[in-house]
Chains A and B, each alone.
Chain A
Amino acid sequence: MRIGQVIGKTVLSVQDPACEGGRWLVVNPLDASQLNGCCEKTPSLSAQASLIVYDNIGAGEGDIIGFSEGGEATAPFPHPIPIDALCIAIFDQIHYTAFSSN
């Protein structure tokens, strides 16, 4: 599960009927340096490629979400669904402590 910030959403006029009932969020994956305090203060954009994440648990813009990718993104659905990234968590707190070996 990767961590990303919801920076927008997109609306499809025509889509596969299996995807009804969810929303398409534009997500910017976060880097290590942006994680601390990202749930309280909106972090900057990272250099990682943004992607579209299917969401049916109601993540809004500015939320920090955890999204699952690959075949596992379709696991919760009873019917086949053509998605490869699914929002599965909306984070309230993230604590990142870099390891320094000295």
Chain B
Amino acid sequence: MIIARIVGNAIAAHCHRSLSGKTLLLCQQLGDGDVSVGAPFVAIDLFGAGLHERVLVSTDGLGARHLVEDDSSPIRMFVQGIVDEPVEAKQLITSH
């Protein structure tokens, strides 16, 4: 799981059926000093996270399939929770 910041949203009329009607949010991984780094990715959100909020994003496909109740869904990343305060960590190394 990674901590990310919501930096936008995406709209796709033409997509896999398990995505239609779902909110697709653009997220960017959070690094040191609360700065978001790297290329944004798209996560499914069912909790109504707002723009620029910090969220916990899980990349577990099984959890995503349960979330959208579709066993053939190709989704991998979904918002698992909303983080309240900035992360207090000695150092936050991102994968970028």
> Chain A residues in contact with chain B, CB under 8 A?
1-3, 29-32, 35, 46, 48, 57-58, 66, 68-73, 75-78, 86, 88-99, 101
Other A-B contacts than A48-B39, A72-B76, 16 sampled, CB-CB below 8 A, are A3-B39, A32-B7, A32-B39, A35-B40, A75-B61, A75-B71, A76-B16, A76-B72, A86-B74, A88-B75, A89-B42, A92-B13, A94-B10, A94-B11, A95-B8, A95-B26
Q: Known contacts A1-B76, A75-B73, A76-B74; decide if A91 and B11 are in contact (CB<8 Å).
A: yes
The 8 Å CB contact of A1, one of B7, B13, B36, B43, is B43
Q: Give the number of chain B interface residues (Cβ < 8 Å).
A: 35
Query: Is B32 part of the binding interface, using a Cβ–Cβ cutoff of 8 Å?
Result: no
Report the nearest A residue to B37, measured CB to CB: A32
Query: Is B28 part of the binding interface, using a Cβ–Cβ cutoff of 8 Å?
Result: yes
Complex Cα gap A88–B15 (Å): 5
